[in-house]
Amino acid sequence: MNITMIGSGYVGLVSGACFADFGHEVICVDADASKIERLKRGEIPIYEPGLDELVANNVRQNRLSFTTDLGPAVKGADAVFIGVGTPSRRGDGHADLSYVYAAAKTIAEALGETFTVIVNKSTVPVGTGDEVERIIRETNPKADFAVVSNPEFLREGAAIEDFKRPDRVVIGVEDPRARDVMEEIYRPLSLNAPPLVFVGRRTSELTKYAANAFLATKITFINEIADLCEKVGADVQEVARGIGLDKRIGAKFLHAGPGYGGSCFPKDTLALIKTGQDEGASLRIVETVVAVNDARKRAMARKIIVALGGSVRGKKIALLGLAFKPNTDDMRDAPSLAIVASLAGDGAQVHAHDPESMEQARPLMPEATFHDDAYSAIEGADALAIVTEWDAFRALDLDRVKNLLKQPIIVDLRNVYRPADLRKRGFTYVSVGRA
């Protein structure tokens, strides 16, 4: 199949490279000329394990190419995927669809006479497919096309694996010809036999938001249980295991921590709430999840302050991990942002280190001092806080950490160490939801 991917950001680039790896011919388009130049030179603008190699391999095999020129790329395509961003609109939390609609218009202008499937891969509110269809029909009344919804469920840091071994592929399609094209595009997956879930377009659009809101709810639920565990002397990891083995609940997304962040959960929960409000169907559980998660990030700063005796004024705090989760350089809605702002607001000097995200973090947290190395951040600190669970922080040289710290205090917001081990080594150890 000939596939054109509009938008070479996170979703577009990963999907484009993976489709090429399936054997399709893929052209990735982006309006940002410098980004396309970099991609042509083999430079990947984001940090995602394995992506550089995947892109290089497929470029070498002539299955993957990059261009700023949308017209010719659309003309020969069997399917044109829209993978542009849908950020939260400033002020009201609605998804900003201007990039999607602009893409629809330019695609329409470039469509030839042959049947073309236009696929929305971006996360878009219910009804966006209808509007995309309307825009294309209005712009180019002669075009033969169908609009499909095919949301992406991949996680940053595990994107390639998630794309190639999905639990399911959701496809919202109303046109039988488009269904055939989508089946052909995903045929290489049949080896792993994930179900292709064919549904109506609106159902598909809503499924994506419902999935993210459910996962955000699951995390927020276990975070509240963690708080209760601390009060009653229970262990949240054991509770999570105890409930997660029930197949109706499932073991994943039950890690208590500093609250969810990232490019999807915060923005998609807000957008879903807005859709509910617009439609007169209030989503009170999701609204509460958002409020609880926001409050939690500040509560985590409080946890560090309490561990230091109630005040951090003039104290030095080493903070390891800034990205919203490991294996990404993404700082969007990372809990570290609220934590650093609270600590600095209370007069602490924050000394931070992250393996990949410091360049992104620097302008977002001007109060912090950045270190290229974890141990240099820890040196002379009054306490160490672990905020993101990078593997490197699971295997710290704890004797060295103890020698470098002014006081042996560790606040571990991701539960990467065992309380008994750290106490035996003489640390004051505070974690999440463990007595």
User: Least distance from C-beta 252 to ligand UDX, angstroms?
Assistant: 7
Nearer to ligand UDX, 116 or 336 (CB): 336
CA distances from 220 to 31, 140, 275 (A): 38, 46, 21
- Annotated ligand binding at 30? The verdict is yes
Q: Is 299 exposed, middle or buried (0-12, 13-18, 19+ CB in 10 A)?
A: middle
User: Least distance from C-beta 306 to ligand UDX, angstroms?
Assistant: 21
Q: Which residues bind ligand UDX (CB under 6 A)?
A: 152-156, 212, 215, 219, 253-255, 257, 260-265, 324-325
User: Least distance from C-beta 263 to ligand UDX, angstroms?
Assistant: 6
- Annotated ligand binding at 13? The verdict is no
Nearer to ligand UDX, 4 or 388 (CB): 388
Give, for 416, the enclosing helix (H) or strand (E): none
* 377 touches 352 (CB < 8 A): yes
Integer Rg of the chain from CA: 23
> What region, left, alpha or beta, does residue 218 occupy, with left being phi > 0 and alpha being psi -120 to 50 degrees?
alpha
Nearer to ligand UDX, 133 or 227 (CB): 227
2: helix, strand or coil:
strand
Catalytic: 18? no
Nearer to ligand UDX, 56 or 225 (CB): 225
Please tell me the total number of residues recorded for the chain in this structure: 435
User: Least distance from C-beta 115 to ligand UDX, angstroms?
Assistant: 29
What is the number of the residue whose Cβ is closest to ligand UDX? 264
- Annotated ligand binding at 434? The verdict is no
| CA end-to-end distance (rounded Å), the chain | 56
Q: Whole-angstrom Cα distance, residue 155 to residue 163?
A: 9
412: helix, strand or coil:
strand
- Annotated ligand binding at 156? The verdict is yes
Query: Of 170, 245, 252, 162, which Cα lies nearest the Cα of 207?
Result: 170
- Annotated ligand binding at 265? The verdict is no
User: What is the phi/psi pair of residue 12, to 5°?
Assistant: -60, -45
* 111 touches 79 (CB < 8 A): no
- Annotated ligand binding at 316? The verdict is no
- Annotated ligand binding at 111? The verdict is no
User: Least distance from C-beta 327 to ligand UDX, angstroms?
Assistant: 9
User: Least distance from C-beta 293 to ligand UDX, angstroms?
Assistant: 9
Taking residue 399's Cβ as centre, other Cβ atoms within 10 Å add up to: 9
- Annotated ligand binding at 406? The verdict is no
DSSP code of 4?
A: E
Task: For 333-380, give the DSSP string.
Answer: T-HHHHHHHHHHHTTPEEEEE-SS-HHHHGGG-TT-EE-SSHHHHHTT
- Annotated ligand binding at 43? The verdict is no
Nearer to ligand UDX, 219 or 271 (CB): 219
Q: Whole-angstrom Cα distance, residue 192 to residue 186?
A: 11
Strands of the sheet containing 169-172, edge to edge, are 64-67, 25-29, 2-6, 79-82, 116-120, 145-149, 169-172, 196-199
Nearer to ligand UDX, 300 or 381 (CB): 300
User: Least distance from C-beta 407 to ligand UDX, angstroms?
Assistant: 28
Nearer to ligand UDX, 291 or 373 (CB): 291
> Which residues are annotated as part of the binding site?
30, 35, 86, 123, 153-156, 208, 253-257, 261, 267, 325, 332
> Which residues are annotated as part of the binding site for NAD(+)?
30, 35, 86, 123, 156, 267, 332
User: What are the residue numbers of the active site?
Assistant: 264
> Which residues are annotated as part of the binding site for substrate?
153-156, 208, 253-257, 261, 325
